[in-house]
Amino acid sequence: MSEPHPGVHRVSVEALVEYPDRVDVRSPAEYAHDHAPGASNHPVLDDAERARIGTLYAQSPFEARKLGAAVVARNVATMLETAFMDRPREWRPLVYCWRGGQRSRSLAHVLNEIGWHAKQLDGGYRAYRRHVVASLAQLPGRFDFVVVCGLTGSGKSRLLNALDSAGAQVLDLEGLAHHRGSLLGDLPNAPQPSQKWFESRIVTALDALEPHRPVFVESESRRIGALQLPDGLLSSMQRGRRLTLDAAPSLRIDLLKQDYAHFFADTDRFIRRLDQLTTMHGKAVIARWEALAEAHEWDALLGELLERHYDPTYTRSLARFADAASPALRAEVRDVSAEGFAALAREVKAAFETAHAIAVP
């Protein structure tokens, strides 16, 4: 870690919550990969500038520092003339870079010279990342998770949304991951975040929850699309109480047709996704499913996918995931309208919050 600069006050990552206005001066690529929640990106060096100066540094550190200082000065001047021009006298930004070194110190120094109360994050992003890793190992164990289980199409995500609207505590992992956790789970126009940004979002979500109230979360395998659940969170979920949703096959098909409408509107894309199941189900079965897709026989196709692929896969996953010692309560989904899930959510919330109050004085 670089030595503290006498003109810039540093704060530890534990004090991050006291500084909601956060300025990330790293390059756009660094910022996109992961950043402190709520931070805005104002790079003192963009991606190309950082690469150019890094290459020059390997040849001559002195020349690199001269060029870097000139580029940083121009970029800081642009920030002052644009993004920061309307900031009030009382502005208290927390500035950070990769390791709390020259990039963040250069901006924080200028801001303080102007009269703002800028602080520098001690250790920079690296300290923040260590904080996230430590939090993921400790935070999940504080909560009483209610794991919502159920076969594909039973309305687990819809119940979570309704529970959230009803004021229950919800950890929406698929929302944080931008993925529904299945073969067709990727969301249109919503790419998945990086693994590190996913973990940062989980920590932010957990920090907002109250340990004395139950937290509803959907049952997940270890992976959600390309992302992996942190071990500590998965273990805490496995120890949680379970609520299993039961829904008739016809209702499940109706829900899937709504959730995956973007796939049904692009038959070629749907068929390409089915091709990924060839090794599991064989060419003859995939050919029949592709023929159903081309004929837009969605009810028949979804019925077979549920019976032959989704249900066996989910059952095996749940058997590995769920704690057999944890009793599973059941709820039947009869009405898949928004009003129906809202009513079910109110019943579920009342039942589990009452039980939690009895179990935890």
Whether the pLDDT of residue 88 is over 60: the answer is yes
CB of 89 within 8 A of CB of 117? no
Of 222-226, 273-277, 325-329, give the lowest mean pLDDT range: 325-329
Per-residue confidence (pLDDT) for residue 16, from 0 to 100: 94
Domains and CATH numbers, the chain: 10-133 (3.40.250.10), 143-359 (3.40.50)
Q: How confident is the model at residue 80 (pLDDT cuts 50, 70, 90)?
A: very high
Summarize pLDDT for 161-218 with one digit per residue, the tens: 999 999 999 999 999 999 987 766 676 677 899 999 999 999 999 999 999 999 999 9
Per-residue confidence (pLDDT) for residue 1, from 0 to 100: 43
Per-residue confidence (pLDDT) for residue 129, from 0 to 100: 98
State how far the Cα of 334 lies from the Cα of 320, in Å rounded to an integer: 28
Average pLDDT, the chain: 91
Q: Which residues are catalytic?
A: 97
Q: Give me the half-sphere count of Cα atoms (radius 13 Å) on the Cβ side of residue 62.
A: 0
CB of 229 within 8 A of CB of 220? yes
CB of 132 within 8 A of CB of 203? yes
CB of 103 within 8 A of CB of 8? no
CB of 253 within 8 A of CB of 174? no
The pTM for the full model equals 0.90
Whether the pLDDT of residue 356 is over 60: the answer is no
State how far the Cα of 52 lies from the Cα of 69, in Å rounded to an integer: 13
Q: How confident is the model at residue 37 (pLDDT cuts 50, 70, 90)?
A: very high
Whether the pLDDT of residue 3 is over 50: the answer is no
Using a 10 angstrom Cβ sphere, with 0-12 exposed, 13-18 middle and 19 or more buried, the burial of residue 302 is buried
The first and second tokens of residue 230, run together, are 């942190």
Q: Where are the alpha helices (DSSP H) in 227-277?
A: 231-238, 249-259, 261-264, 267-275
Gyration radius of the chain's alpha carbons: 25
Q: How confident is the model at residue 355 (pLDDT cuts 50, 70, 90)?
A: low
Nearest to 96 by CA among 42, 23, 31: 23
Whether the pLDDT of residue 357 is over 90: the answer is no
Residue 190 β-bridge partners: 187
